Every structure is written in structure tokens, then in C-alpha cells.
Chains A and B, each alone.
Chain A
Amino acid sequence: MKEVTFPISRDDVVGLSERLDEPKWLREKRLEAWELAESLPMPTTKDEPWRRTDLRRVDWTQANHLVNPNGSVSIGQVPTELYRPLIGDRQGGLLVFVDGKLVYTECSEELDAKGVVFTDLSTAWRDHRELVEQTFMTQAVKPDEGKFAALHAALWTHGVFLYVPAGVEVEQPLHSVEYTTGDDLTSTHILAVLENGASATYLHESVSPDRREQAVHMGATELLVGDEANLHYVGLQNWNESTVNISHQRGRVERGGQLDWVSGEMGTRFSKVFQTLDLDGDDSSGRISGLYFTHGRQHLDIDTQQNHRALRTTSDLLYKGVLKEKSHTVWQGMILVEPGAQRTDGFQANRNLMLDSGARADSIPGLEIEADDVRCTHAATAGRIDDTELFYLQSRGIPCDVATKLIVDGFFDPVMQRIPYEGVRERLAMSIDEKLER
């Protein structure tokens, strides 16, 4: 069997850092992570999280060129529809990236005055070094989580830094968009830090227009929610079908904090997502609402983990997916209740609707409970679209394609109802319609 070799070298790391005009200390950080990445083995299908997702299916030789975050790109390349507000009518801030380069930035004066930082990661390293240094890959996603986390720490090409000081409520939602036109390797980092008692709503969307050449994306998302803080985060992934995506996402919630996390996974040809919720503080809670819709030969693997690590914590995860044609999805979920995490209330459910007989959904829930006063439940289903349902709708004059759409919309309805933003629901509904019409 051929081995997977990653075609980027140490020189590429140095080159990236130079192009970004980074200070020496930041370059050293990258190189330190690079050394770590080099020392970590490439995962194989013998490793449990990668058992159903074979990295050998990716042509890694094509991933030998990092995006140039200084390319001549402009916001004019981005469909305007992508940066209109999806939550409410107005947004407190907007960042737009094209091929890793920040092409548009907006942050209301009001937020500036309150000490809120909403900027791209390179700028944040320069202007808010201390804040970033304390939080960047030190608390949520750590470089030693695995090969790709370490590679990301060495190779991140661009990203967003959101910082909300203690007690500050950001009323108008924040929005970032990344639009990738090429076949380069990109590595986006999202870092949101909410200090104690802060609150914010933030949406990040990644999109790439259709093209045949493979692009690789290695992402990391870190959401740090302080005591009594409240973060609503929406991540929408709409990469084209030539994209390979490996992403580590982790939210950590401190005492009494709340994280409401919405994920829409529609694109990519091959995707592995690690999504982890750490409930670190007493009385913290997290809710994850996810949708995916795959078609063609898409392969999407989502690994979720709900870690209950304190008293009276609550987690509630629902992922619903529709599969078409020969696509394959994997959802592997785990609720872990650590010793002493009494009065935990944990829930996870994954439901799949397969529209074609060639589609395959693996749905693997898991519980690991090391405390005795807990309530944990899970559910996993995968079923074919029901001919009886289709016939019933058709008997009322509804053509088969419309009947299928109704059933799919109805299937997604429970998770849609968990998303309190009309614009986001509309965006997801549009993606669903596009999938159905393909």
C-alpha cells in the first residue's frame, strides 16, 4: 500500500512566514509546530478516528503549493450574495478573504469603542500579541492533537480573531467569508474569545466556486467561552466538490457559559471534521445543530465529541444528513462524562435520510460515562426514503421530485427549527435545493 506523504517542506513554512512579513518569534512558533508535525505519524485507517476515511484517497502530490496570501485579488470576485447579512439586517463587522487574503474589513466604531477586536489573524498577532498568544492553539485545538492540528499550527495561512472583553454584549452579528478560487493549500484559523459575561453572534462561511482541480483546506476553529459568556456561532462550509478538507474544531465553555453552535456541511469531495465541545465549567452548556447534504461521490466524516468535565453541564447535539447518489457519510459521536461530572445531561442524535441505494451513512454513537449521577441519551438512524411516503404525496398530484423535496425539507425541519436566524435557514435551504436539483 502506498504511504501518504505530505509534500510541503520546512522551507515552505519559512516562505509563508516571510510572505506574511512575520516577526521572528512568530516564525519560530510555526517552525516549532512544524517540528512537532514532522514527529507525528500520518494517520492510517488503523487509527480509530480514520477507520472509515482513508487519506490515501487524496492525491497529496497536488497539495504541494501553499496559497499566496498576498495575491492580487479583490472583493469584486466574491458574489455579493455571500456577504450580505445572514443574521438580522445589519452586521457589526464583516471580514472577507479571497484566496487567503483579507480584501474587505469592517468593524463598527461602537465595537471598537467597547474594546471588541474583530480582525484577521495576522493583524491580530501584530496588534494584540498578548491576547492571541494566550489563546491561539493553547486552550482549544492544540498542535499535539494530531498530525493535521500540528500542520495547521505551522501552516495557517489566514484567519479571524474575535475578542470580546468581559461583560461586553455584541448585539449586531459578526460575519466573515472566505472565498477560495484556486487549487492551493489553504489553512484557515478561526479564533473567537469571549471573556466572562460577554456575548456575541458570529457566522463564518467558506465557499469556493466549482472547478476541477483539487484544493486542500486544513482548518481549525477555536471557540473560547468564558464564565457566564454566551456565544452563538454558525459555521457554513460550501467548498466545491474538488476540495479536500481536514478540520479541527473545538469549543470550550467555562462556568455558566453557553455555546450555541450551528454547522452546515454541504461541500467538499473528501472531508474529515473533528468537532469537540468541552464543558469545562460548572453549569456550562453547549448545543450543536448540524446539517449535511452530500451527493455524487462526496465523502464526509464528522467526528463529534461532547466532553462533560464539570458539575451540572448540559450538551445537546443533533446532526441531520441527507445523502444522494453514491455519497458516503460518517458520523461518529461520543459523549464523555469525566469522573465527578455529576448531574450531567448529555444528548446526541444523528439521523440520515438516503435518497439513493448507492448512498451509505455510517452512524456510530458512543457513551463513556465515569460519573454515576448523569442522564445521557443517544440516537442514530439511517433510512432510505420511503416509497409509501412518496406514493402518498404523488397520489395528491405532487410530482415525484417535489414530493422528494417536501420529504427532505420535512426531514431537516427539526434541526432548522434550532436555528434562530432566518437568513441562515434561507442559505441552508438554498443549498438543499441546489443539491436536490443536481
Chain B
Amino acid sequence: MTVALEIRNLHVNVEDKPILKGVNLTVRQGETHALMGPNGSGKSTLAYSLMGHPNYEVTGGQILLDGVDLLELEADARSHLGLFLAFQYPVAIPGVSLANFLRHAVNAHRKAVDPDDGGMPIPEFRKMLKAKMDLLEMDHSFAGRYLNDGFSGGEKKRAEILQLATLEPKIAVLDETDSGLDIDALRIVSEGVNALAGPDLGVLVITHYQRILNYVKPEYVHVMFDGQIAESGGPELALRLEEQGYDWLREKNGSS
């Protein structure tokens, strides 16, 4: 059975101000979607709301994953169900190594399935992590560094992709994953995403620029405007945005 992330008429306020005004979008396992849109259109708000950030107040609508209502669940439970968010600005946790953090994450996922699970044996975990790092062409010493602490922009993004690879979610939301990436890092991250893509992973790439879409090929492109999906189409929509910018969309939606 293919699992779907269904966003139905989602309304979200941030500090009492409506930001999302009825978003409808469905992402299925195996599909790659791009969500584009100008700054301030609500793309990141959608990403955080999907993951359950406490500062984003859902005032209406539904988010379903595999038919389960996510709105009642904390972020950790959403993760257990197979949702993943690659952060636009990954958070540094000083004193906690990437490997230690990932081991806790993996074990939390196992425990969610089986409360009696004693955790993945450390040798098995190390082997798994090394394999994932090899897949993403990452130096093994990376795992010993403190999570995102002093990481370059590119390193932070790689760490996000490594987390994605390790947790094997059903649906991954990549929030402006191309920000702060040089071309080489962009290539590696994109290749990482592509390496992980397959029938079991649905991807929603949220981006301001068309640039990452040269590497990650979406089948569906959506444009967000003023808190709603204003336009949906195929890859040609991304090209049009690249060439013409967002002005035509502003005119079409009657906004200044």
C-alpha cells in the first residue's frame, strides 16, 4: 500500500496572523514534488506545521499521513509514523555527536514500534551509519562531530540528508534545502536525495530557486502564493518560474 501525506484545507496562524489560508496538497510515496513560491508566501510555515512546531497554530484543516491525523501528535510521533523534515536552518546541539544523536533517533523509532526494544546493538548501528555515509560520500569522521556545531552551510545540509538516509521516512519534506549550498555540495545533496528516492520515499522539495531542480527532478511542481497553492503543474512550471519570475502569478492572483 502506498502511503500518502494529505494536506487538506490547512489554515495556520503564526502569532495570531493567518499565514496559511487553505493549503491542499497530496504527496505519495514514490513521488517527487517541488513547492516553489516567493519569499513570505508561507512555504516554511507549511514545512514547520507539517512537523508540528509548537509556534505554528493550526486553525483549520487536516494533515493526514497514511490516514492518521497528525495534528494531535507531537513531532516525535509524526517522525515515528514516517514523516521527515530537513530543516532550512538545522539547529546546533553542542556536546552531542552526530552519531550519538542518530543512535538515539534510531532507537526511539524502534521503541515506537516495540516498547520493549532495547535499542540497536552499537556495532550494528556503526555499520549501518558507515554504509549510509558511504552512500552520501561523507567522511566517517563527520559522525564524531558535535551536531551542526560549527558546521558549514553545506555540512549542515549533508547532515540533514544523512539523517534522512538513516531514518528512512516515507515522506520527506526538504525545506529550502538548496540555501547555503555551493554547487558541489548541492550536487552531493541532490545525489543523496536521488540515491534515496525510490518507490518507498515521497519527497516534497520546498525551494525558492529553481536551481536544485536541475538535480532533483520533480514530477509535480506547485507554486505557493499568499498562503495557498496557486498553481500546480509538471516540471515545465518550474522552468517558467525560472524564466519569468513570480510576477505573472501575482497578476493572475490579483495582488500587487
Are the C-beta atoms of B74 and A406 separated by less than 8 Å?
A: no
Interface centre among A389, A396, A406, by most chain B C-beta atoms within 10 angstroms, is: A396
> Is residue B54 within 8 Å, beta carbon to beta carbon, of the partner chain?
yes
Complexed CA–CA distance, A426 and B93 (Å): 22
Distance of A103 from chain B, by nearest CB (Å): 39
* Bound Cα distance A409, B51 (Å): 25
Q: B28-52 CB contact bits vs A (8 Å, 1 = yes)?
A: 0000000000000000000000011
Question: Size class of B's contact patch?
Answer: 20 to 34
**A339 beta carbon closer than 8 Å to chain B:** no
Q: How far is the CA of A386 from the CA of B96 in the complex (A)?
A: 15
Q: Pick from A387, A392, A402: contact of B93, CB below 8 A.
A: A392
Contact of B101 (CB < 8 Å), options: A386, A396, A413: A396
Bitwise interface map of B from 54 to 85 toward A, beta carbon under 8 Å scored 1, else 0: 11000000000000000000111011100011
Partner among A388, A393, A396, A411 whose Cβ is within 8 Å of the Cβ of B95: A411
Contact between A410 and B163, CB atoms less than 8 A apart = no
Q: Is the CB of B94 within 8 A of A410?
A: yes
Interface residues of A in 349-404 (CB under 8 A from B): 386-389, 391-400, 402-403
In the bound complex, CA of A403 to CA of B100 (Å): 12
Tell me the bound Cα distance from A400 to B78 in angstroms.
13
Q: A residues within 8 A CB of B79?
A: 394-397
Check if B93 sits within 8 Å of A394, measured CB to CB: no
Contact call B74/A396, Cβ cutoff below 8 A? no
Given contacts A387-B54, A392-B87, A410-B146, contact A398 B104 (CB under 8 A): yes
> Chain B 89-133, CB within 8 Å of chain A: the 1/0 string?
011011110001110110011001000000000000000000000
A208→B116 CA distance, assembly (Å): 34
Check if B95 sits within 8 Å of A394, measured CB to CB: no
Task: Please tell me if B240 contacts chain A, counting CB pairs below 8 Å.
Answer: no
Considering residues A387, A393, A409, which has the most beta carbons from chain B within 10 angstroms of its beta carbon? Answer: A393
Q: Which residues from B are CB-within-8-Å of A394?
A: 74-76, 79
Q: Which residues of B contact A402 (CB under 8 A)?
A: 104, 108
A414 within 8 A of B: yes
Complex Cα–Cα for A389 and B112 (A): 21
Check A395 against B51 for contact (C-beta < 8 Å). yes
- Asked if A395 contacts B93 (CB within 8 A), the reply is no
Q: Do B108 and A399 have beta carbons less than 8 Å apart?
A: yes
Q: Which residues of B contact A410 (CB under 8 A)?
A: 93-96, 146
In the complex, the answer to whether A406 meets B91 with C-beta atoms within 8 Å is no
Measured in the bound complex, the distance between the Cα atoms of B96 and A395 in whole Å is 16
Contact among B55, B76, B87, B100 for A397, CB-based, below 8 A: B76
A412 within 8 Å of B (CB atoms): yes
Q: Is the CB of A407 within 8 A of B93?
A: yes
Q: Which residue of A lies closest to B169 (CB)?
A: A397
How far does the alpha carbon of A16 sit from the alpha carbon of B79 in the complex, in Å?
64
**8 Å CB interface, A51-66 against B:** none
Q: Are A411 and B105 in contact (CB under 8 A)?
A: no
Contact assessment for A396 and B54 in the assembled complex, using a CB-CB cutoff below 8 Å: no
Of B78, B84, B87, B96, the most chain A CB neighbours within 10 A belong to B96
5 closest Cβ pairs, A-B complex: A410-B95, A413-B95, A397-B79, A410-B96, A394-B75
Binding site for A on B (CB under 8 A): 51-55, 74-76, 78-80, 84-85, 87, 90-91, 93-96, 100-102, 104-105, 108-109, 112, 146, 163, 167
Contacts A/B (CB < 8 Å), 17 sampled: A386-B91, A387-B55, A392-B87, A392-B91, A393-B105, A394-B74, A394-B75, A395-B76, A395-B85, A397-B76, A397-B79, A397-B80, A398-B105, A400-B74, A406-B93, A406-B104, A410-B146
